Structure 1
């Protein structure tokens, strides 16, 4: 499936049109990419290693050339424009700061190569330092800074010449969890304040959901779905997206019948599930059901559910604010239910057989997953 959007031409900053990339002339790393990136949006390219997301970013930056197709920036083709003439800021995972230059000199560098006057450079460097809360650090060298501070300098350097577009390639990958989460919010708030267009690459789905206006999910060189984070999570269009974004229970079965948006799926042991028909074929065809763990109700909570079964409790996984309960359900040994600690029945124990269920609108019938 190719990502397309219905955006007015005046709102679009970047357009990929039929872009393909192959390194060996045979295998396509990026297959027929059609994508419009809107002015001022925060768009994340998300996917596993080798899915084509970084290659797409590098073609936009000018470090890779499309094998075919065209990339437009502000309405003009940039296929043959060198990277330094594209007016694009870049932030990498390894910071790429000059170790022999002070923080202020690092920030001044992109302005100097663009020929700005010295007083203007001083003013802009000061503003950029203030923007990332490093006002007092201009005279330090990168080696004298923590990882988080270095990443802030790299961010300021990408923004200091006021580009219309900033590209970020796994910029927080080297930071520890707490600092990474803090920087996610800093980058998000900076984006909101400055209104610059950001294209961000990550394989971390939590990061993508937290930061983005829209997320493009890549797999095998193609966009599987491009959507707002909530829509991707709640309304995945296929099995790959359902499994890649967030946690997901999968049940395999076959389509028995379909009526409009609803369908009935038969499971291998004879159970039947009523589901939303999102991406299904004809009766008899294989189907994968997708149910989010937090949508499953246990015990009395399942009384009003359309789909009701029983499950045997196999394991509790304690995660502080919530607990994941692994159950054996419908012949599956790894069916998970997620419950806030406050809602957990303290009497529930491993080995208990409990009623459980989920509503029709919370189970999606999708394409069958290929066998591993």
Structure 2
């Protein structure tokens, strides 16, 4: 990872470890620089260490080893309310007996902001999330989306330099969730505040973030811009966790520069980009995105060309997923926009298909079958 200039770093995790029982490390040797003004998402499955890392930054958990710095000062002995950090949780954590305006005023009065400034700041924060007319209402009188907006305004009202969000949209339905993703993203762009966001939803992470850190078993597997993570995963875990992915397993035959040849179990060979491979004879997993596969005549120019049997069509409105049997693998998926689908294609058809060398990545063998 390229070193970020110190002046651009807002948060620095140095050699952070966390264990609850003194034996198992939930977070192992975490080194991470969070840049000023960026939207960084910590993404990973349950138990990968992403929420624990966020809670250590917030001050609700203490690192077992290592140091966290915010704007150059160590946070190790700073209590949560003195860290100048806004927090948004999934359950909103609003005070039910206080009006919306009182909920927003609370973090200001705790910070001893003068009374005449409080009203002005609350008004500004409510306008920011389009809730000006709701100041006198109680949380119980609001919808889930409105409550989430109040929680967001409350995290921003005291103008912190850093806002942490832990699965903040988890309780909302799909449409509202997608709408709120855009709202939070636009707020971030407008305010320039640094946001650290935790989710297990990869679509959300790709949509909202400047960078995404993929966690697995307490370690960051890769940290990159969303498009880089998706198109250029560095290992098999990231390839499988981000987006949909066809995985073929084989062994390395030869390796020349950035290209390699991999033999599949039934003897077919695939030419691939060598990203994370050992020596000849070593096991390899190949990763190919479903949208990068060409069918029928479109596959003629492809370096890797095979035939596949159509097993099933899965209709998704704007595109269709075609499940095929390819190279002995019964669940090989191809994604096609509806406009490009051949209407004569039917279940049971055997058709040519292919993909270019630059769209298949040779990665480490996956140890566990998923």
Mapping of residues 188-227 of structure 1, within 5 Å:
188-227=185-224
Separation in structure 2 between the aligned mates of residue 136 and residue 35 of structure 1, nearest angstrom = 41
1:252 pairs with one of 246, 249, 273? 249
| 1:345 equivalenced with 2:342 (yes/no) | yes
SS of residue matched to 2:278? coil
Alignment partner, residue 328 of structure 1:
325
| 1:356 equivalenced with 2:353 (yes/no) | yes
Alignment partner, residue 187 of structure 1:
184
1:27 pairs with one of 24, 28, 39? 24
Q: Deviations over 1:76-111 (max 9, x none)?
A: 110110000000000000000000000000000000
Separation in structure 2 between the aligned mates of residue 347 and residue 137 of structure 1, nearest angstrom = 56
1:40 pairs with one of 37, 41, 47? 37
2:48 pairs with one of 39, 43, 51? 51
Alignment partner, residue 87 of structure 2:
90
Q: Deviations over 1:235-262 (max 9, x none)?
A: 0000000000000000000000000000
Separation in structure 2 between the aligned mates of residue 78 and residue 288 of structure 1, nearest angstrom = 42
Measured after TM superposition, the shift of residue 371 of structure 1 is: 3.2
Moved over 4 A (4+): none
Mapping of residues 172-183 of structure 1, within 5 Å:
172-183=169-180
Measured after TM superposition, the shift of residue 117 of structure 1 is: 1.1
Unmatched segments (≥5 aa) in structure 2:
none
Whether the 8 Å contact between 1:90 and 1:168 is mirrored in structure 2 is yes
Unmatched segments (≥5 aa) in structure 1:
none
CA RMSD in angstroms, aligned pairs only: 0.5
1:114 pairs with one of 111, 118, 122? 111
Alignment partner, residue 265 of structure 2:
268
Q: Deviations over 1:316-368 (max 9, x none)?
A: 00000000000000000000000000000000000000000000000000000
Separation in structure 2 between the aligned mates of residue 80 and residue 341 of structure 1, nearest angstrom = 57
Measured after TM superposition, the shift of residue 5 of structure 1 is: 4.1
Whether the 8 Å contact between 1:44 and 1:200 is mirrored in structure 2 is yes
| 1:154 equivalenced with 2:122 (yes/no) | no
Measured after TM superposition, the shift of residue 164 of structure 1 is: 0.2
Whether the 8 Å contact between 1:247 and 1:293 is mirrored in structure 2 is yes
Separation in structure 2 between the aligned mates of residue 104 and residue 77 of structure 1, nearest angstrom = 33
